[in-house]
Amino acid sequence: MTPSSQHYLVITALGADRPGIVNTITRHVSSCGCNIEDSRLAMLGDEFTFIMLLSGTWNAITLIESTLPLKGAELDLLIVMNGHPTAPARQCPRRYGFRLRSPTPRI
């Protein structure tokens, strides 16, 4: 797929955590013909949240946009989608390595 034929979609979801939720969403993304370019997952108390940057053809992105709300309803997830004609630019490198040291000894 040439870069000009790629389309992008950012999806954010929030809901109660339960086994298999990530597997279900990633399988749905794949079945629509989209790729997961980047993702972040987090547990916030009993809530599960994720953000994914998807890429695919116009048809694949349109398919996920039309089917994801129903899949989200089945999983009781609040889903927000935001389309991008090009890949969103990264503002900073992916990861930073650092070590924190306490000025006081451990007790």
CATH number at residue 51: 3.30.70.260
pTM: 0.75
The tally of domains found in the chain comes to: 1
pLDDT of 1 over the 60 cut: no
Residue 102 domain flag: no
Residue 39 domain flag: yes
Residue 106 domain flag: no
Q: Which domain holds residue 20?
A: 3-84
Residue 34 domain flag: yes
Residue 64 domain flag: yes
pLDDT of 52 over the 90 cut: yes
Torsion over CA: 5, 6, 9, 10 (sign): negative
Residue 93 domain flag: no
Per-residue pLDDT tens digits for 9-35 = 999 999 999 999 999 999 999 999 999
**13 closest CA partner among 41, 32, 46:** 41
Residue 24 domain flag: yes
